[in-house]
Structures are given as C-alpha cells and as structure tokens.
Amino acid sequence: MDKEKTRESNFELLRIFSMLYIVVYHFIVYAIKPGSPELDYLMNPITNVLHIGVICFVLISGYWGIKFSLNGFVKLFLQCSFYSILIYLVFLAINPDQYNSKEFLLSILPFQWWFIQIYLCFYLLTPVINIPLKNSSQQKKLLYIVILGIISFVFGQFIPSLSDGKNCINFIFIYYIGDYLKTCTKLKPKRILLYYIGFNLVLFCCSMLLRNKPVAGGILYRSIFPYNSIGLIFNATLLFMFFSRLTVKSKIINWIAASVLPVYLIHENQFLSRYLYGAISNLKGSMPDPWVLIAALILLAIIVIAICVLIDKILSPVYKLIQKAIINSKYFERINSKIEEILT
C-alpha cells in the first residue's frame, strides 16, 4: 500500500482543516453577522482569513490530478443526491405541511450547493482540462496559469459572471496551480508556516484598519476575498504548501477525511442549515465577549464535523450499495467501457 501513489495523511489533514475553516466561516456569515453589525469590525477580518477552504480543496485536486471516469462521476452525483433526498424527507417527516412537489423533485438533483454545481461540471470537463498538462514543460504550464489568471481575475473585474470566482474557469485556474505546485519543493515547512502566519496577521490588521475606508477597503476586498482574487489564492497556496511538506501517517486522519464532503452536504443543506444557523445565532445574546464567541464557534464547528462524520460512517454503506447496484448494471458497464475506449 505504501508503494502506491496514494494521498498521504498530510493532505487528508489539510482537507479536515479546510472543512473546519468552511464550517466556522458559515457560522459567522449566516448565523452571527446577520443583525449584528456591531461585530463586523472583528467578524469581517476573521472571515477574510477563513475564506480559503474551498481553494484548498481545488488545489488538492490539481496536485493529485483528476482522472475522469463515469464511475467516479456517478458515485459523486449519487452521494450528493442521497443526502439531498434524505435530509428533505427527514424535514418533511418533522414538517409534513411543508411538502412542495417542486422542492421534492429538485431534491433529487444535488444542485442546492453551489460548490457541487461547479465541481460536477468541472469533473465532466477534466478529460479536456488535463490535455494541456500532459507532457507540457513547466514554462508552458506557467503560461497556462497566467492566461487563466488574466481571464479569471482581470476580466473578472468587469464581467459579472466571473466576478466572484464561483465558476469553472476559476476552478481550472486553481487546478492548474495545484498541478504546478508539485514542482515547488525547495521551501521548508517552518518557513512556509511563518509566511502564512505573517500574511494573515497583515491581512487581519489591514481588514480592521480599512473597514471604514470605502475606497481602500474596497480594493482590499477585491484583492483578498472573492474566489478569483490573487490574495485569497496566494493565502490558500501558502497553507497548501505547508501541509504538502509535512510527513503525517494516521489511519484516524484518513478515516475522518473520507467523510469530509458529507460534512459539507449535511451542515449546508438548505432544510437543515436554517435550524443549525438559527440555534447558533442565539449564542450572540449569551456571549457578549466576541473572542469567547469565536472560541465557542470553533468548538461547535468541531462538534458539528464530528457528528456529520459519524452520520456518514453509519449511512455510507447504504449509498455505496446504491452506487454499486447502478455501476455494476449491464447497461452502465457498456456505456462506461465505451467512454473509456474513447478517452484512451
């Protein structure tokens, strides 16, 4: 097993940390900030620091590469649909008067999560996306990154559909960066960590100092917050490079990381999140000290992640059985073999 090219625990640990960033970020944006503008002076700088979670996931995909397969696409699609349908059915069991035929039909499709929408499209494009990376020199790869960066970041300042970075173009841009980082091996982990900490301290301080300056604050925001911003991608790259240099081997970490995606699917489901964020919002009144509130949010995020992981470990045999039944069907195997024949 050790001789195979598999993801070491350092990348799985990064996946766990990235999801922790995402969950805490969601708690702040959807539960704490609404109705509490007096906390913006602290919450906005913290969300600027935490916003790198999604970028890290795409960097990991680029570093290891995605080899397209119909099996992989269907497994991902069914896993997301399983949780979408299941949570909606539980919601209806508790609130039967809330049944809506349109919502029921939409729950079959896993498109309520913006990340899943883009990632599924991105996954389907990987046979094309990977072509320029095959047998290309590092100079060519760097050129591709520069071109995609100009489209995503520079054009994104003027084209609304590209402005927030939530699109396939930006995901390809980050994916190519992840691939390129395989060659960046000179820096030591401690030095990268110092760069990461230093960058985020500067980011945090600038966010606080410029919060009441519309022009300077707006420039800072465009530079470090949207998913296509240079500052955000640089920040995520520093964290990614730090974890990529670590030597970690842990079965527990790998076991937890295998259920990281379901953490997102469960806690960010529209029919569950309204209750979760509503309950967390009530903490504001009982914790007047914002720093104590932040500590509580981190602790709650760890608890939510742990619960979601345990739920997935219980339910994964069910959706894996569904996946297996479809993938092993005669008609599916014919289609899959034909696609593999075309792509090889």
Question: pLDDT tens for residues 39-58?
Answer: 999 999 999 999 999 999 99
Q: What is the mean pLDDT of residues 51-74?
A: 95
Which residues touch 1 (CB under 8 Å, ≥6 apart)?
A: none
pLDDT of residue 7: 56
Residue 4 has pLDDT above 70, yes or no: no
What dihedral angle (degrees, nearest 10) is formed by the CA atoms of 23, 26, 32, 38?
Answer: 110
Would you say residue 316 has pLDDT above 60?
yes
50 contacts 24 by C-beta, under 8 angstroms: yes
How would residue 135 be classed by pLDDT, with cut points 50, 70 and 90?
confident
- Angle of helix 189-209 relative to helix 230-244, nearest 10 degrees, comes to 150
Tell me: pLDDT of 198 over 50. yes
Residue in this structure with the two tokens 């110092």, named with its chain if needed: 194
Tell me which residue of 218, 224, 222 sits closest to 202, measured CA to CA.
Answer: 224
**Are 24 and 303 contacting, i.e. CB atoms less than 8 angstroms apart?**
no
C-alpha–C-alpha distance, residues 227 and 242, integer Å: 20
With 0-12 / 13-18 / 19 or more C-beta atoms within 10 angstroms meaning exposed / middle / buried, residue 77 is middle
For residue 184, which amino acid is it? C
Listed in sequence order, the residues at least 6 apart from 63 whose beta carbon sits closer than 8 Å to its beta carbon are: 11, 178, 179, 181, 182, 240, 244
pLDDT of residue 186: 74
- Please determine, for residue 254, whether its predicted confidence score (pLDDT) is greater than 50: yes
- Per-residue burial over 201-237, b if 16 or more Cβ lie within 10 Å, else e, is eebbebbeebbeeeeebeebbbbbbbbbbebbbbbbb
Between the alpha carbon of residue 93 and those of residues 79, 86, 99, 319, the distances in Å are 21, 11, 10, 20
Dig out the tokens for 96 from the structure.
């039967």
Helix (H) / strand (E) element for 283: namely helix 283-286
What the block records as the tokens of 114 is: 């913006």
Work out whether the CA dihedral 140, 141, 146, 148 comes out positive or negative: positive
Q: Which two tokens stand for residue 45?
A: 């700088």
3-class secondary structure per residue, 182-220: HHCCCCCHHHHHHHHHHHHHHHHHHHHHCCCCHHHHHHH
Model confidence at 3: pLDDT above 60: no
| Mean pLDDT of the chain, nearest integer | 92
Q: Residue 12 corresponds to which amino acid?
A: E
**pLDDT bracket for residue 1 (50, 70, 90):** very low
- Cβ proximity of 204 and 194 under 8 Å: no
When pLDDT is averaged across residues 203-226 and rounded to a whole number, the result is 91
CA distances from 19 to 132, 162, 306 (A): 30, 24, 11
What is the per-residue pLDDT across 225-251, written as a single tens digit (0 to 9) for each?
999 999 999 999 999 999 999 999 999
pLDDT digits (tens, 9 = 90+) for 165-184: 999 999 999 999 999 998 87
Measured distance CA(108)–CA(126) in Å, rounded: 24
- Is the alpha carbon torsion for 58, 301, 46, 156 positive or negative? positive
Q: Is the pLDDT of residue 223 over 80?
A: yes
Question: Residue range 182-203: average pLDDT?
Answer: 90
